[in-house]
């Protein structure tokens, strides 16, 4: 089965940066649209960003201009570069893989991002 493992979360001060990584194994990476989602306490899980194999990206309005999603197809890895972090970005961040031909979905275990002074 497809496996996703996130890394890179942690504690950072407002205005700081973090880079999340998601390594995907047991898959043909190019047939998946990759995404990052997050869930803050008391809130629904929300889309942060997506990236297709062909390079198209989409972002939530709340992170546009601050976050960048990218993928290295040769390494089967997707990244989320997070700059100018705000306390409102505090959440558990989840990596998602959506298979193109049948939209089967796979999720990572999540990584905690905490933005605090």
Angle (CA) 59-35-55 rounded to 5° is 70
CA distance 32 to 101: 9
The predicted structure's pLDDT at residue 26: 84
* 14-67 per-position pLDDT tens digit: 999 999 999 999 888 889 999 999 999 999 999 999 999 888 999 999 999 999
CA distance 67 to 115: 14
pLDDT beyond 90 at 99: yes
The predicted structure's pLDDT at residue 27: 84
CA distance 117 to 114: 10
**Quick count: other Cβ atoms within 10 Å of Cβ 46?**
12
Q: Which of 25, 17, 14, 43 is nearest to 95 (CA)?
A: 25
Q: Strand, helix or coil at 4?
A: strand
Average pLDDT taken over every residue of the chain: 96
Q: Which of 14, 8, 108, 28 is nearest to 74 (CA)?
A: 28
The predicted structure's pLDDT at residue 1: 86
The token pair that represents 18 in the structure block: 């973090």
């Amino acid at each position: 089965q497809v496996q996703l493992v996130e890394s890179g979360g942690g504690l950072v001060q407002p205005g700081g940066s973090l880079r999340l990584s998601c390594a995907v194994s047991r898959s043909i990476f190019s047939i998946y649209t990759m995404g990052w989602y997050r869930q803050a306490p008391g809130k629904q899980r929300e889309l942060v960003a997506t990236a297709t194999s062909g390079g198209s990206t989409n972002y939530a309005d709340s992170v546009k201009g601050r976050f960048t999603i990218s993928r290295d197809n040769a390494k089967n890895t997707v990244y989320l570069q997070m700059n100018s972090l705000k306390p409102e970005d505090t959440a558990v961040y989840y990596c998602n893989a959506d298979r193109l031909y049948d939209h089967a979905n796979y999720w990572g275990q999540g990584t905690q991002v905490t933005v605090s002074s």
